[in-house]
C-alpha cells in the first residue's frame, strides 16, 4: 500500500520534469542547437546528479515545517499542491510548486493540530521574495557585463552566436542540476519521514533512505523530461530565444544560480562559518526566479522604469494565492476524507 501512495510523488516528479525542464533547455532545443534527445539525456543525468548530491538541504528545510508521518497525509498534501498548481496555471499566474506544497503542509499541520513552526514559515515565505529578487540582481549584473563585453570587444556577430550556444549548453546543464538539487524536495521530501518510520529499504546500493528516495524521484523527473517535455521545450525555446539570444543564457544561468544558492549545504556552512547571513535551504520556484531574471534584463536594457508593475503584482498575487489555495484544498480534502476514514 505504501508504494501505491508513493506513486503520487512519482507523478509529481514526472509533472515537474515535463514542465520545468523546458525552463533550462528550452532555448537550446528550440533553436535546434542540440537535439531534443541530447538535451533530454543531459538534463535527466544532471537532474539525477543534483538530486542525489545536493537534495538533502532543501528537503530538510521543507520538513522543518513539521513532519508528516502518515503516507496517506503526504499523498493528500502532494495531490492538493498538484491541483493548486494546475488551477493557478490556468489563471496565468507564475505559479510555484514549492509554494503550493508549503501551503498544503501548513494546512495539514492545522488539521492535525500539529504545532506550527511560525519561524520556519516566515523564513520560507521570505525566500519567495528573495529568490526572484536575487535572480533579478544576478541577471541585471550579468547582462550589463555581457553587454559591455559585446560592445567593447569587437566580437563578430557569428562568434557571439557561437559562444552563446556553448554557454547555453552549460547553463542548461547547470539549470537541470539546480532543478534536481532544489526541487527534489517537492517530489519526495514529504515521504522521507514516513518511510524512515516504516524502516523500509528501496534501493540497497544507496546507504541512506533519503538518497534512495531522491534517486527514484529524480528518475521520475527524468521520465517526465524524456516523455513529455519536447513540445514545451520547443514552444518555450522559440518564444524566448527568437528575440533575445543573449538574454536566454542570462535567464537560465541566473535562475540556476538562485536555485543552487537555496540548495547547497556547503555554501550555507561556508557563509555561516564566516558569520555571514546564509540562504535558507528550501525549495524555491524556478519559474518565479526566471521571471525575476527577465525583469533584471529589462532593467539593464531600458532602465528601471521599464519594469512592468503588472508583472510584479502577478508574482505577488502568486505568493498569496498559491499557498492559500493549496491550504484550502488540503484542508477541505482532509475534512472530507475524515468523514469516511480515520485519519
Partner 1 sequence: MKLFTGKNKMLMSNIDSFLQLIGDSSTYFHKALESYLSSDENTFTEYLKKVSVIEHEADELLKKVKHDLYAFMLIPDTRADVFRFINDLDNIIDSSKQLLVQLSIQRPLFSPSLSDGIISLVTVNCESMKALIETASVFFRQPSLVENRALAVIRCEEKVDAIGERIEREIFSLESSYSLSEKMQLSQFNRQICSLSDLAEDIARDLIIFALKRMV
Residue 190 is given by DSSP the state G
Q: How far apart, in whole angstroms, are the C-alpha atoms of residue 31 and residue 241? A: 7
Cβ proximity to partner 1, 127 vs 247, nearer residue: 247
Q: Which residue has the cell 521570505?
A: 126
Cβ-contact 98, 252 below 8 angstroms: no
Q: Which three cell numbers stand for residue 26?
A: 528550452
In the chain, the largest separation of any two C-alpha atoms, in whole Å, equals 72
Stretch that binds partner 1, among 25-33, 70-78, 184-192, 206-214 (CB under 8 A): 25-33
Q: Which three cell numbers stand for residue 12?
A: 509529481
Binding partner 1 (rule: CB under 8 A), the pick from 154, 273, 305, 309 is: 154
C-alpha separations of 167 from 55, 170, 183 in Å? 25, 5, 23
- In the complex, the smallest distance separating the C-beta of residue 227 from partner 1, rounded to whole angstroms, is 22
Residues 84-123, mask of contacts with partner 1 (x by CB under 8 A) = ----------------------------------------
Assess 151 for contact with partner 1 (CB under 8 A): yes
Q: Which of residues 164-203 bind partner 1 (CB under 8 A)?
A: 165-166, 169
Cβ proximity to partner 1, 27 vs 327, nearer residue: 27
- In the complex, the smallest distance separating the C-beta of residue 80 from partner 1, rounded to whole angstroms, is 41
Q: Where are the alpha helices (DSSP H) in the chain?
A: 2-30, 36-63, 71-90, 97-111, 118-152, 157-188, 192-198, 209-228, 230-241, 245-261, 265-273, 286-302, 309-338
Assess 34 for contact with partner 1 (CB under 8 A): yes
- In the complex, the smallest distance separating the C-beta of residue 232 from partner 1, rounded to whole angstroms, is 19
- In the complex, the smallest distance separating the C-beta of residue 147 from partner 1, rounded to whole angstroms, is 5
CB half-sphere exposure, 245, CA atoms < 13 A: 14
Cβ proximity to partner 1, 104 vs 297, nearer residue: 297
Other CB atoms closer than 10 Å to residue 316's CB: what's the count?
13
Residues 214-253, mask of contacts with partner 1 (x by CB under 8 A) = ---------------------------xxxxxx-------
Q: Which three cell numbers stand for residue 14?
A: 514526472
Assess 35 for contact with partner 1 (CB under 8 A): yes
- In the complex, the smallest distance separating the C-beta of residue 167 from partner 1, rounded to whole angstroms, is 11
Stretch that binds partner 1, among 16-24, 26-34, 101-109, 181-189 (CB under 8 A): 26-34
Stretch that binds partner 1, among 32-40, 57-65, 103-111, 312-320 (CB under 8 A): 32-40
Cβ proximity to partner 1, 51 vs 236, nearer residue: 236
Cβ-contact 318, 93 below 8 angstroms: yes
Assess 159 for contact with partner 1 (CB under 8 A): yes
Cβ-contact 251, 290 below 8 angstroms: yes
Q: How far apart, in whole angstroms, are the C-alpha atoms of residue 338 and residue 342? A: 6
Binding partner 1 (rule: CB under 8 A), the pick from 72, 155, 271, 324 is: 155
Q: How far apart, in whole angstroms, are the C-alpha atoms of residue 198 and residue 69? A: 10
Cβ proximity to partner 1, 87 vs 234, nearer residue: 234
Residue among 9, 11, 112, 135 nearest 65 (CA)? 112
Binding partner 1 (rule: CB under 8 A), the pick from 22, 24, 33, 225 is: 33
| Contacts to partner 1 by CB under 8 A | 31-35, 38, 143, 146-147, 150-151, 154-159, 161-162, 165-166, 169, 241-246, 301
Amino acid at each position: 500500500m505504501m508504494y501505491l501512495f508513493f506513486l503520487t510523488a512519482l507523478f509529481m516528479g514526472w509533472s515537474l520534469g515535463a514542465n520545468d525542464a523546458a525552463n533550462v533547455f528550452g532555448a537550446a532545443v528550440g533553436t535546434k542547437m542540440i537535439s531534443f534527445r541530447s538535451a533530454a539525456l543531459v538534463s535527466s543525468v544532471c537532474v539525477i546528479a543534483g538530486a542525489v548530491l545536493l537534495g538533502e538541504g532543501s528537503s530538510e528545510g521543507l520538513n522543518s515545517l513539521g513532519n508528516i508521518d502518515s503516507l496517506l497525509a503526504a499523498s493528500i498534501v502532494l495531490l492538493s499542491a498538484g491541483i493548486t498548481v494546475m488551477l493557478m496555471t490556468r489563471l496565468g499566474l507564475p505559479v510555484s510548486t514549492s509554494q503550493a506544497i508549503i501551503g498544503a503542509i501548513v494546512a495539514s499541520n492545522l488539521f492535525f493540530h500539529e504545532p506550527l513552526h511560525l519561524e520556519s514559515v516566515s523564513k520560507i515565505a521570505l525566500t519567495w521574495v528573495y529568490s526572484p529578487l536575487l535572480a533579478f540582481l544576478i541577471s541585471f549584473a550579468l547582462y550589463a557585463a555581457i553587454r559591455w563585453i559585446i560592445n567593447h570587444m569587437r566580437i563578430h556577430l557569428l562568434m557571439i552566436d557561437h559562444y552563446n550556444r556553448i554557454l547555453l549548453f552549460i547553463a542548461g546543464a547547470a539549470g537541470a542540476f539546480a532543478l534536481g538539487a532544489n526541487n527534489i524536495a517537492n517530489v519526495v521530501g514529504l515521504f522521507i519521514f514516513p518511510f524512515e518510520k516504516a524502516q523500509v529499504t528501496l534501493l540497497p546500493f544507496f546507504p541512506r533512505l533519503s538518497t534512495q528516495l531522491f534517486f527514484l524521484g529524480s528518475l521520475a523527473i527524468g521520465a517526465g523530461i524524456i516523455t513529455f517535455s519536447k513540445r514545451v521545450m520547443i514552444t518555450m525555446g522559440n518564444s524566448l530565444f527568437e528575440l533575445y539570444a543573449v538574454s536566454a543564457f542570462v535567464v537560465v544561468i541566473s535562475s540556476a544560480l538562485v536555485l543552487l544558492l537555496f540548495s547547497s549545504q556547503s555554501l550555507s556552512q561556508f557563509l555561516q562559518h564566516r558569520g555571514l547571513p546564509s540562504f535558507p535551504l528550501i525549495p524555491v520556484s524556478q519559474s518565479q526566479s526566471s521571471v525575476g531574471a527577465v525583469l533584471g534584463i529589462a532593467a539593464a536594457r531600458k532602465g528601471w522604469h521599464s519594469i512592468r508593475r503588472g508583472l510584479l503584482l502577478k508574482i505577488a498575487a502568486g505568493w498569496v494565492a498559491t499557498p492559500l489555495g493549496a491550504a484550502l484544498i488540503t484542508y477541505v480534502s482532509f475534512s472530507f476524507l475524515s468523514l469516511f476514514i480515520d485519519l
